[in-house]
C-alpha cells in the first residue's frame, strides 16, 4: 500500500477540527515529511504488531573468471517485531460553557492545539529516546537504542572535538565540521533526507549557512523556517512534551550534543500506524451527554520502523557550548 503524507490525509478529511489537528501536526517538518506504513493483515483487518526484516549486511557483487564459481555471500537480515504504542491525552470542559457556542469552539480548538503539540513532541521524543524495555514498555524503540553499537554510530574523539561553541570557533571550524558530516553521510546506504538536531546545533547550522553557499534557508507553506544542506532538511527536534528539556540534549558539563541523520522511506526509516495514515485521532466532548464535565481526547497509535541500520546514523560529540571549567 502506498504511504500517506499529511497533506493527503488533510485532503481526505472534511472535518474542520480534524484538518486543524493535521495542520498542527504538520508544523513539525519531520512529521510532515515522514511516510507511514499500515498493519493491514492479508486476510483483512489490522493488528497492533508490525513485523519486518531489517537489513544488517548488504549483498555484494564481483566478477568471476570463466569456468570459476562466485563465492557465495548473502545479505544478512534480522526479523524485527515492532508493537504499536498508544499515546495521547485528554482535556475537560464544564457543561456551563455549553451555553456559549463560540466559547466552546474556541476552547476546544485551543485544547486540541495544545494536546496535538504534546502528542507530536512525544512521538518525536520516542523517535530518538524511546526504549521499549523501560517504563513497562509504553514507548517504541528510538534511534538512540537502535543505532547503539552499529557501524553508523560515530563518536568524535575527545581530543578532536569540533569546537562550535562561539561565533569565532564556528568561523574557524565550520569547514572541518562539514567534513565530519560528510564522513558520516558516506556510511549510509543513500543520501539522507533529514538531519535532526537540538536548538543549539540548529543555531550553529544557521551561522554556517551565512558562511557557505551549500545551504538554503526558506519557509514552508505553514511558515516554519527550513534550512537545507544539499537535499537534507535540518530539523529542530524541540523539547519533550510539557517541559523545557530538549529531546536531543546538550551535555551540561562537556557542552557536546548529538546529530541524527537518515533516509525516509518504506525501505529505510518510516512510521507505522494501523491504517497507514499519520494524523492523530480526535474525540470531541459530547455536550449532550449527562454529567457536569465533558471530556475530549487526542490519541495516536503508532511506532517507528528502521528497515536498514545503514539508512540512519548518529554523530556524537559535537561541541556547541563551552565545557565547564574550560
Percentage of the chain lying above the pLDDT 90 cut: 50
Residues 34 and 82 in one domain: yes
More confidently predicted of 271 and 220: 271
What is the pLDDT of the chain when averaged over all its residues?
A: 85
Structure confidence by residue, pLDDT tens digits, 14-47: 356 667 667 777 678 888 889 999 998 777 778 8
User: Domain residues for 153?
Assistant: 149-265+310-319
Q: Cα–Cα distances in Å, from 325 out to 45, 134, 201, 253, 255?
A: 59, 34, 21, 9, 11
Strand, coil or helix: what is 309? helix
Query: Which residues in 211-236 are b (16+ Cβ under 10 Å) and which e?
Result: eeeebeeeeeeeeeeebbbeebbbbb
Residues 315 and 168 in one domain: yes
Strand, coil or helix: what is 120? helix
- 324 is a domain residue: no
Residues 186 and 315 in one domain: yes
More confidently predicted of 264 and 30: 264
- 177 is a domain residue: yes
Residues 241 and 108 in one domain: no
Q: If you average pLDDT over residues 138-158, what whole number do you get?
A: 92
Residues 274 and 134 in one domain: yes
Residues 257 and 290 in one domain: no
Residues 239 and 297 in one domain: no
- 132 is a domain residue: yes
- Residue matched to cell numbers 495514515: 277
Least-confidence region, from 94-108, 151-165, 278-292: 94-108
pLDDT score, position 283: 86
Q: What is the CATH number of the domain that holds 187?
A: 3.30.1930.10
Residues 193 and 314 in one domain: yes
Best-predicted range by mean pLDDT (26-40, 62-76, 100-114): 26-40
Going 174 to 180 to 182 to 185, the CA torsion angle's sign is: negative
Residues 239 and 165 in one domain: yes
Rounded CA gap, 105 and 165, in Å? 46
Q: What is the CATH number of the domain that holds 95?
A: 3.30.2400.10
Structure confidence by residue, pLDDT tens digits, 198-242: 999 999 999 999 898 888 888 777 677 788 998 899 999 999 999
- 16 is a domain residue: yes
Q: How many CB atoms lie within 10 A of CB 254?
A: 16
Rounded CA gap, 302 and 320, in Å? 33
Q: Which of 111, 73, 75 is nearest to 93 (CA)?
A: 111
Residues 89 and 161 in one domain: no
Rounded CA gap, 48 and 81, in Å? 10
- 71 is a domain residue: no
Residue 16: its H or E element? helix 16-26
Helix 16-26 and helix 101-129, axial crossing angle in degrees, nearest 10: 40
Total number of domains in the chain? 2
Residues 137 and 173 in one domain: no
Least-confidence region, from 10-14, 171-175, 261-265, 300-304: 10-14
Going 162 to 232 to 275 to 115, the CA torsion angle's sign is: positive
Rounded CA gap, 169 and 157, in Å? 18
Q: Which residues have a Cβ under 8 Å from the Cβ of 57 and sit 6 or more positions away?
A: 75, 76
Half-sphere exposure (Cβ direction) of 205: Cα atoms closer than 13 Å: 26
Q: Which residues have a Cβ under 8 Å from the Cβ of 94 and sit 6 or more positions away?
A: 292, 293, 294
Q: How many CB atoms lie within 10 A of CB 182?
A: 10
- 111 is a domain residue: yes
Residues 177 and 129 in one domain: no
Phi, psi (degrees; rounded to nearest 5) at 144 = -55, -45
- 109 is a domain residue: yes
- 67 is a domain residue: no
Q: Which of 235, 214, 239 is nearest to 226 (CA)?
A: 235
Amino acid at each position: 500500500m502506498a504511504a500517506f503524507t499529511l497533506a493527503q490525509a488533510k485532503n481526505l478529511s472534511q472535518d474542520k477540527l480534524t484538518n486543524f489537528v493535521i495542520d498542527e501536526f504538520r508544523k513539525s517538518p519531520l512529521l510532515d515529511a515522514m511516510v507511514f506504513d499500515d498493519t493491514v493483515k492479508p486476510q483483512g483487518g489490522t493488528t497492533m504488531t508490525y513485523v519486518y526484516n531489517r537489513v544488517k549486511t548488504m549483498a555484494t557483487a564481483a566478477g568471476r573468471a570463466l569456468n570459476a564459481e562466485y563465492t557465495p555471500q548473502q545479505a544478512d537480515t534480522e526479523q524485527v517485531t515492532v508493537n504499536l504504542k498508544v499515546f495521547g491525552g485528554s482535556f475537560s470542559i464544564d457543561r456551563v460553557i455549553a451555553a456559549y457556542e463560540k466559547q466552546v469552539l474556541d476552547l476546544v480548538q485551543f485544547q486540541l492545539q495544545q494536546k496535538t503539540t504534546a502528542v507530536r513532541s512525544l512521538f518525536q521524543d520516542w523517535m530518538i529516546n524511546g526504549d521499549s524495555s523501560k517504563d513497562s514498555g509504553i514507548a517504541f524503540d528510538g534511534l538512540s537504542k537502535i543505532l547503539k553499537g552499529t557501524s553508523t554510530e560515530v563518536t568524535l574523539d575527545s581530543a578532536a572535538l569540533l569546537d562550535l561553541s562561539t561565533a569565532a570557533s564556528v568561523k574557524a571550524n565550520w569547514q572541518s565540521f562539514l567534513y565530519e558530516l560528510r564522513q558520516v553521510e558516506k556510511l549510509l546506504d543513500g543520501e539522507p533526507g533529514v538531519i535532526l538536531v537540538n536548538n543549539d546545533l540548529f543555531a550553529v547550522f544557521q551561522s554556517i549557512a551565512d558562511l557557505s553557499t551549500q545551504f538554503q534557508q526558506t519557509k514552508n507553506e505553514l511558515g516554519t523556517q527550513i534550512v537545507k544542506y544539499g537535499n537534507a532538511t535540518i530539523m529542530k527536534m524541540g523539547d519533550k512534551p510539557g517541559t523545557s528539556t530538549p529531546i536531543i540534549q546538550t551535555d551540561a558539563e562537556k557542552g557536546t550534543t548529538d546529530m541524527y541523520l537518515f533516509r525516509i522511506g518504506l525501505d529505510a526509516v518510516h512510521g507505522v500506524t494501523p491504517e497507514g495514515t499519520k494524523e492523530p485521532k480526535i474525540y470531541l466532548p459530547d455536550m449532550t451527554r449527562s454529567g457536569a464535565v465533558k471530556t475530549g481526547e487526542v490519541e495516536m497509535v503508532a511506532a517507528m520502523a528502521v528497515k536498514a541500520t545503514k539508512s540512519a546514523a548518529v554523530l556524537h560529540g559535537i561541541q556547541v557550548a563551552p565545557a565547564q571549567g574550560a
